Chain A
Amino acid sequence: MQFFQYILLSFLVVCAISVSLSKKLLNSIMIFMSYSLVMSVIWICLESPDLAITEAAVGAGVTSVLFFVTLKKIHAIEENRKNQEEAGENKENE
């Protein structure tokens, strides 16, 4: 069990660093989501299931969904998609 916790904690550190290093906002949110999920498993290992349920529902679920909606609202997802579609059209033309 101790070994498993060390693996989870190292994964947590890797997630926390890669959130700030990733260039795309969408990828950052996905990594943040997995951070919350790992955190909720760690809460269970630390024998606090109350916090684990809340972390899984709020951290991994609702907060990330709100981030996604905000990204859509400020047109951060949309522009990526537009660029991709344009690139796709260019390729089809070739």
Chain B
Amino acid sequence: MSKLKSEEEYQKTKAFHFFRWLSGSKDPYLGRVEMKPQKEYVEEETTIQERMWEKEMIRDKVYDTEHNKWLLFFRRFYRIMAVVFCIILAGVLLFTVSYLPPTGNARNPDNNEVAARYIENGMQETGAVNVVTGMILTYRAFDTFGETNVLFIATCCVMIMLMVEDAELKKQEVKNDRRYEPKNDAILQGVATVLVPIIFIFGIYIVLNGHLSPGGGFSGGATMGAGLILYVSAFGFKKTQRFFNEEVYKVAKVSALCMYGLIGIYYYVMGANGLDNHIPLGTAGDIISAGIIFPINICVGIEVACTMYAFYALFRRGGL
């Protein structure tokens, strides 16, 4: 008991709460956190019998195994052949693997002039310290553009299949969204408030440093998407829709893809024909360097983050 403060003032301090919790007179989580006792699932005898009876009835009446000898024979044949097929397949695969060239051998077919050129001239030609990103986004930018398009088309397909347009159904989906989950879970929200900013900053760091350190557009975008999903699952869709709703999503996704396409076209037209490339490479190691890699990384990052979040939202309740 504090002498300096009166009883009422002392009850507001954290020390009072701590000692109250220590002595066990009041549990601060009681009544605030949803708690349910976990119980083991025990099946009753009648339900087991019912199930067994159903199984026997199906076996006897539908398939009629006693009279249908061919079915019995087919079943046994099927089981034996499944095992035999698996063994043969495993044998063939292992046999093929034994013919593969050993790892790290200098005379392997993958160790040719293409890889040598990437490693030797990659940094001068692309300006990226991280050779992997430099290779993916300049020498093979066309492949990466295709991959980004695949992501776009995948989201479109998921939208076509799972998007709920009907107003009545939409209301129902929103209502049923958290039926079997605790609402405003204190632990989840506490963890999310600490982790979400860190995850976002890390994702942005990976995207912006794609040409300097490991990572790039795809990994950074996936990290940011995971952060968005954590935020949604902790705080609900209402809070997320204030900064990331369908309009923002459409604009961000389409403009990122178009931007990538425009940069790619410019690069092919200006660079591939032996003309001067007007995007300066800069000093290798700087944040703003490496020509087209930096903007393309940002585009891919936005695209992937949008895709990840859209998948989650569409799977969950059929709308963003």
The number of chain A residues touching the other chain, given as a range, is 20 to 34
- Other-chain contact of A77, B39, B44, B180 (Cβ < 8 Å): B180
- B24-51 toward A: CB 8 Å interface, digit per residue (1/0)? 0000000000000111111010000000
B311 within 8 A of A: yes
Residues of A within 8 A of B130 (CB): 50
Question: Are A61 and B226 interface neighbours, CB within 8 A?
Answer: yes
Q: Which of A1-9, A10-18, A28-36, A79-87 contacts B (4 or more CB under 8 A)?
A: A79-87
Question: Are B311 and A66 interface neighbours, CB within 8 A?
Answer: yes
B133 CB to nearest A CB, Å: 8
Residues of A within 8 A of B312 (CB): 62, 65-66, 69
* Chain B CB within 10 Å, residue with most, of A49, A57, A78: A57
The number of chain B residues touching the other chain, given as a range, is 20 to 34
Residues of A within 8 A of B141 (CB): none
Cα–Cα distance between A65 and B130 once the two chains are bound (Å) = 31
Q: A62-B312, A69-B312, A69-B315 are in contact. Are A83 and B229 (CB under 8 A)?
A: no
A26 within 8 A of B: no
B218 within 8 A of A: yes
Interface of B, secondary structure class, is helix
B319 within 8 A of A: no
Question: Are B225 and A62 interface neighbours, CB within 8 A?
Answer: yes
Cα–Cα distance between A88 and B42 once the two chains are bound (Å) = 9
Q: A62-B308, A87-B41 are in contact. Are A50 and B229 (CB under 8 A)?
A: no
Within 174-222 of B, Cβ neighbours of A (below 8 Å) are at 180, 206, 214-216, 218-219, 222
- B222-253 toward A: CB 8 Å interface, digit per residue (1/0)? 11011001000100000000000000000000
Interface of A, secondary structure class, is helix
Residues of A within 8 A of B59 (CB): none
Question: Are B206 and A72 interface neighbours, CB within 8 A?
Answer: no
Question: Are B215 and A78 interface neighbours, CB within 8 A?
Answer: no
Question: Are B315 and A57 interface neighbours, CB within 8 A?
Answer: no
Question: Are B41 and A62 interface neighbours, CB within 8 A?
Answer: no
Cα–Cα distance between A90 and B44 once the two chains are bound (Å) = 10
Question: Are A70 and B315 interface neighbours, CB within 8 A?
Answer: yes
Question: Are B223 and A50 interface neighbours, CB within 8 A?
Answer: no
Residues of A within 8 A of B44 (CB): 90
Seen from chain B, the residues whose Cβ lies within 8 Å of a Cβ on chain A are 37-42, 44, 130, 132-133, 180, 206, 214-216, 218-219, 222-223, 225-226, 229, 233, 308, 311-312, 315-316
Taking A61-B229, A91-B39 as known contacts, 6 extra A-B pairs with beta carbons closer than 8 A to each other, sorted by chain A number, are A49-B214, A49-B215, A54-B219, A65-B312, A73-B316, A87-B42
